[in-house]
Chain A
Amino acid sequence: MSAISVRWACKVFGEGHSRIVALDKVCLDIDDGEFVTLVGASGCGKSTLLRMLAGLETHTSGEIEAGGQSVVAPGADRAMVFQDYSLYPWLTVIENIKFPRQLAVHTRDCTSADVETASGRADALLCAMGLSGVTNAYPPQLSGGMQQRVAIARALMARPKILLMDEPFGALDAQTREVMHDLILHVSKLEGCTVVFVTHDVDEAIYLGRRVVLMAPRPGRVDSVYDVPLPRERALAMKHSPEFLALRFRILERIRDTSGMRTDLELLQRLSQQAVPI
C-alpha cells in the first residue's frame, strides 16, 4: 500500500499578473516505510510539495492522499522537521521532545499507563538521538547539529506514520551532516516510518534515498525518478562506489539541463575562449 499518493497536484501562487505556477501536474507514489528524497535546483517547488504533503500549503487542484486519507490540513500522522528555528527555546531538550504530550490529540483517552509509556519513549528517543547528556539544556545552548537531533526526536515522539524533512541539515557543516545522515537512516529504520526528505545536495539525496525524485523549475514539476542502486544498509564508503558516482553524475547533468544553468555555462565558456580583456 502506498503511504503517500499525489495525483495531478498543482499549486498556483497569486493571481492575475503575479500568478506563478509553483507546481504543475505532479504525480508521485511513495510506499509505506520508503525513504524518498526530493532534489532539484531552487525554485523547482520541492519544498512546496513537501509543505503540501504536510498540509501547511493547500494544493490548487489535483489530489493528495496520506495513509488513504485526503490531505486537507496538517495532522499528527505527518510530522515535519524544519531547517531552522522550530525548537521552543523556553523549553529544555526533554520538554521540547515531550511537547506533543501537551496536545489534546495525543492525550485524549489517555491512561496513566500511556503516560508512563510516553515518558519511556521520550527517554528512548533521547538515547537513540545521542542527547542523554543534554537532557535539561535549553536549545540555544546546543550546536546546530544537536538542535536538529532534538527537532527530529520531537517529530518522532508521537509515532507519526510519515516524517517530512525540509532541508533539515542544510545549515550544518559537512562533518556533522555525515553523522546526521547515518543517524537518520538508523532511526527511520528503527521507527519504520515513511520519510520524504527535501535537499539541494545530490550526494545527500542519493546516500539517504531509496529513490531520488528529481524536480525541475519553471514550472515546478517532477522531472524524473531514480532508483538508487545501493544496498539498503548504507555505509560511508559507498559514496565512492562507481554506482554512486555514476548516478550522481547523471542527476547533476539532468539538473543542469533542466534548471537553465546550461546557458550560463555556455556563456562562461564562450567568454573564456574569446579571452578578451573585459
Chain B
Amino acid sequence: MKSGTWKIRGWLSQRSYWTLAAIGLAVPLVAWTALSLSDSVNHVFLPGPLDVVRRLATWFSEDRLLDDIGISTFRVVAGWSLSALVALPLGLMIGNFRVVQALLEPLTDFVRYMPAVAFIPLVMLWIGIDEGAKVAIIFIGTFFQMVLMVAEDVRRVPMAQIEAAQTMGATRWEIIEKVIIPSAKPALLDTLRITMGWAWTYLVVAELVAANSGLGYSIVKAQRFLQTDKIFAGIILIGAIGLATDQAFRFVRRLAFPYLYVRG
C-alpha cells in the first residue's frame, strides 16, 4: 500500500482489496473461535464454529436442510417477484407523471412506515395460513420501499436525454420505451438487488405464520429448544445465500450493461 491509501475516494489495487476483504471476514471468525475455545463463555450462549458446522451436517443429513432452503428461497423469490411485478410499472408511472406521483407517493410513504410484522394477524385473517400468507408478508415488507426506489430511479434519468428525444420528434410512449427505460435499467437492477436483500430479512418474520418448514422457521424453533448452534447455522446460511444472490446480480449487471464498464 502506497501513500494515497487514505485519500478520500482513493485508489486501491485489486490485490489489496481482496486481501483486506479476506482479513475483514477472517478476523470475526478467528475472534469467534478463540472466544468459544477459551471456555470463558458458556457454549449454550456462544457455540463454536465447529459446533455450527457439525449442526449444519446433521441438519443436512437428518433434518432435510435442502428442503428448508428450497421452501424459504421459494417464499422470498415469490414475494419479491410479485412485488417487482407491481412496483416496476407503478414506480414507472409515479416517476414519469406528476399526477400519479401526487396520487400515490404520499400514500406509499405513509404505508411503508407501517411495520410488516404488525400485518401478520391481518394477513392470517385475510389470506389464511398457507404459503400465500408467507409470500404476502414478504410482499408487504418489500413492495412499498421498492415502488419509491423505482420511481426515484426513473426520475434520475437526465432531462437532456428526454428532451433530446422530444426534439427528434419522439412520442410520449417512444420516450418511455426507448429512452427512460433503457436509461434507468442499471439503476432498476440495483434496486431489485437491494430489495432482494430486504426480502430475505423478512423471511423469519414471514415464517412466524404457521410455518412448519424453512430456514426462518428452523431458527424460531431452535430458539424454543435453546439450540443456539442451529440458530447460528440458520443465520449464517441466510447470509451466505444473500451474498451469493448479490454476486449473481452484480454478474448479470456486467453482462447486461457492458457500456458501464468500458473506459477509453
Which residues of A line the B interface, CB within 8 A?
54-56, 74-76, 78-80, 82-90, 99-100, 102-106, 137-138, 140-143, 151, 154-155, 158, 164
Chain A binding surface SS class: loop
Instruction: Establish whether residues B166 and A90, one from each chain, have CB atoms under 8 Å apart when the complex forms.
Output: no
Nearest CB in chain B: distance from A58 CB, A: 13
* B-side contacts of A151, CB under 8 Å: 164
Name the one of B167, B168, B171, B182 contacting A56, with C-beta atoms under 8 angstroms: B167
With both chains docked as a complex, state the minimum distance between the C-beta of A144 and any C-beta of chain B, in angstroms: 12
- Let me know if A86 and B164 touch, CB within 8 A: yes
Scoring A56, A88, A155 by chain B CB atoms within 10 A of each residue's CB, the highest score goes to A88
A80 neighbours in B (Cβ, 8 Å)? 163-164, 167
Question: Interface residue tally of chain B, by bracket?
Answer: 20 to 34
B167 with A89: CB separation less than 8 A: no
A86, A102, A103: the one within 8 Å of B158 (CB) = A86
Is A88 a contact partner of B166 (Cβ separation < 8 A)? no
Residues B160 and A82 in contact, CB atoms below 8 Å apart: yes
In the complex, whether B174 has a CB less than 8 A from a CB of chain A is yes
Which of chain B's residues have a CB closer than 8 A to the CB of A86? 158, 160-161, 163-164
Complex CA distance for A233 and B155, rounded to whole angstroms: 44
Bound CA–CA A74/B166 (angstroms)? 6
Quick check: B169 and A105 within 8 Å, CB to CB?
Answer: yes
Q: Is the CB of B183 within 8 A of A88?
A: yes
**What's the minimum C-beta distance from B243 to chain A, rounded to whole angstroms?**
28
Q: How far is the CA of A183 from the CA of B112 in the complex (A)?
A: 54
Which among A82, A89, A143 is the interface contact of B164 at CB below 8 angstroms?
Answer: A82
CB pair A103 B174 closer than 8 Å:
yes
State which of A54, A87, A88 has its C-beta within 8 Å of the C-beta of B167: A54
Complex: how many Å from CA A143 to CA B264?
9
* Minimal beta-carbon separation of B239 from chain A (angstroms): 33
B178 CB to nearest chain A CB (Å): 6
Whether B183 and A85, one on each chain, are in contact in the complex, defined by CB atoms closer than 8 angstroms, is no
Q: Which residues of A contact B222 (CB under 8 A)?
A: none
B163 touches A90 (CB 8 A): no
Further contacts, 20 of them, CB under 8 A, given A54-B167, A79-B167, A140-B263:
A56-B166, A74-B167, A76-B169, A86-B164, A87-B164, A88-B179, A88-B183, A89-B183, A90-B259, A100-B168, A102-B178, A103-B168, A105-B169, A140-B264, A141-B264, A142-B264, A143-B264, A154-B164, A155-B167, A155-B168
Instruction: Find the B residue at minimum CB distance from A51.
Output: B163
- Closest CB pairs A-B (n = 4): A76-B169, A105-B169, A86-B160, A141-B264
Q: Which of B135-170 contact A (CB under 8 A)?
A: 158, 160-161, 163-170
At the interface, yes or no: B17 with Cβ under 8 Å from chain A?
A: no
| Contact call B183/A90, Cβ cutoff below 8 A | yes
Within 8 A of A (CB), among B174-192: 174, 178-179, 182-183, 185
Inside 8 A of A103's CB, which chain B residues have their CB? 165, 168-171, 174, 178
Q: How far is the CB of A160 from chain B (nearest CB, A)?
A: 8
Q: Are B262 and A140 in contact (CB under 8 A)?
A: yes
- Chain A CB within 8 A of B60 CB: no
